[in-house]
Amino acid sequence: MSKIIPPSAASPLPKSFYERPSHEVARDLLGRQLWRRSADGSVSGGTLVEVEAYLGPDDPASHAFRRTPRSEIMYGPAGIAYVYRTYGVHFCANVVCEGAGVAGAVLLRALEPIEGIERMAGRRGPIVQTGGGAVVRQQKVAGENGDEINRRALCSGPAKLTQSLDINLELNGADLGGPHIWLTAGSGRVADELVAVTPRIGVTQAADVPARYIIKDSVFLSR
DNA sequence: GTGACGATAATCT
DNA sequence: GATTATCGTCACA
């Protein structure tokens, strides 16, 4: 019996992958694979299908539009994670790009779940206690009697993705070469014919700038 | 299928 | 004190 080698065991992408402008990195991240090893040792992850590029002082939608303590990480070296909390209740995960001194990052918005799907579903719901004690019912991810998990409901949005993969503020600044979080080449750079670019979602500034890169026929996109 | 709404805390002005 | 790179629920069509 030969042991099956999971795709998460592949070598992490090199630092040089991230040391490029955000738009290039974003485009090239499609089809690559994101992996997360939780404290219990389990690995979850899958193939990226939707990302957004964020720039520096020229991009009003970017946190790095102003250089502040929070955005300082986007001005630092490439190849590390930038994780922040939004709306008081969710996390978003980014990949820092460019060289030290130049701000840039790519927001990871959606992926096709491949490994650790049961764990993802467990982290996603069906019921969660919020900080204030309120009980919030979440989108249905599994049937009443242990039916098949709805893989589309797990990582089809930036905050769903972080919840499914157990990504939180502890990972802010983490090296994307592992061991807690890493990216691998997947099946390689996806063909241009599969890629589309649209305006970014949910931003109020620069709302018409095309910077959202998607695998256009994927069923695992947000929305 | 669409649109309004609230949760909730870090960050910045 | 205002804003926010979101999500799930509800009402309605």
pLDDT digits (tens, 9 = 90+) for A19-49: 999 999 999 999 999 999 999 999 999 999 9
A115 sits in which H/E element:
strand A105-115
Query: With a 7 Å cutoff on the CB, does A69 touch strand B?
Result: yes
pLDDT of residue A132: 39
Q: Give me the CA A126–C1' C8 separation in Å, rounded.
A: 11
Query: With a 7 Å cutoff on the CB, does A216 touch strand C?
Result: no
How far apart, in whole angstroms, are the C-alpha atoms of residue A13 and residue A32?
9
Q: Which of A74, A52, A48, A91 is nearest to A203 (CA)?
A: A52
Largest interatomic CA distance in chain A? 56
Helix/strand/coil for A187 = coil
pLDDT of residue A14: 98
Taking only the tens place, the pLDDT of each residue in A107-163 is 999 999 999 999 999 999 864 434 333 444 455 565 444 568 999 999 999 999 999
Q: Give me the CA A179–C1' C13 separation in Å, rounded.
A: 50
Helix/strand/coil for A4 = coil
- In chain A, % of residues over pLDDT 70: 90
Mean pLDDT along residues A175-188: 97
Give the distance, in angstroms, between the CA of residue A176 and the centroid of all CA atoms in the same chain. Answer: 12
Q: Which of A217, A223, A214, A219 is nearest to A48 (CA)?
A: A214
User: Whole-prediction pTM value?
Assistant: 0.92
Nucleotides of chain B in contact with protein CB (under 7 A) are 7-13
* CA dihedral (A173, A176, A177, A179) positive or negative: positive
pLDDT of residue A12: 98
pLDDT of residue A142: 54
Taking only the tens place, the pLDDT of each residue in A56-84 is 999 999 999 999 999 999 999 999 999 99
DSSP 8-state secondary structure symbol assigned to residue A142: S
